[in-house]
A and B are shown apart, each in its own frame.
Chain A
């Protein structure tokens, strides 16, 4: 257990439905990251927060994706009008604020869009 928890572990949804995932980072970690990983590939960066501020978003994050970290603690990632191509493992990671700090990953949320 790395101390980063994600919920749910698995999500199966029908195309067109909205889904929301939650990440609880290690409590003293200011930085929180979302990554997406498809089978056989390395994770791809989606977005990151420092405290409650969303500092960077990938071009991968279409208008259907939104992430929040309202109080600088837990974060949510919402996907609206899901598509089959959204099926992937969504990984959350957290770290202390220095740029070269070690990342701690959650176990991920596996999304399957039918």
Chain B
């Protein structure tokens, strides 16, 4: 079992839909990161969370430390949101290196 698991693996939505991507982890963490990866490799950090909730534009990230679970929500989705969304955790025992989930491929159709 991977230490970081994401669901779904693939998600197709229509423009305007509300999207949720889930991340569960099985280790103690110091922080959880949500990242966006576009074709060609570039990875952009969206959020870093250690508790509660953060919002940036149409993106919202939440984390429940007790349940070891985080969600990334996209409101009013748009085709430009199409990308791979990756959850990664910084483990309490591994310093600053991240352990990544396998990613969720999101496709938003117009």
User: Interface on A for B, CB 8 Å cutoff?
Assistant: 2, 31, 33, 35, 37, 40-45, 48, 55-56, 89, 91, 93, 95, 99-105, 107-108, 110
Complexed CA–CA distance, A95 and B30 (Å): 16
Taking CB atoms, residues of chain B closer than 8 Å to A31 are 96
Interface SS of chain A: strand
- 13 pairs from A and B in contact (CB 8 Å cutoff): A33-B97, A42-B4, A42-B103, A43-B86, A48-B95, A48-B96, A93-B43, A95-B96, A99-B96, A100-B96, A101-B96, A102-B33, A104-B45
Please encode chain B, from 90 to 110, with 1 for each CB lying within 8 Å of some chain A CB and 0 for all others. 100011111111110000000
CA distance A107 to B98 in the complex (A): 18
In this complex, how many residues of chain B approach chain A with their Cβ under 8 Å: the count is 26
| B interface, CB within 8 angstroms of A | 4, 30-31, 33, 35, 40-45, 48, 50, 86, 88, 90, 94-103
A-B residue pair count with CB separations less than 8 angstroms:
69
Closest CB of chain A to B81's CB: distance in Å? 19
Of all chain B residues, the one with the shortest Cβ separation from A31 is: B96
**CB–CB A42/B101 < 8 A:** yes
Contact B90 A100 (CB under 8 A): yes
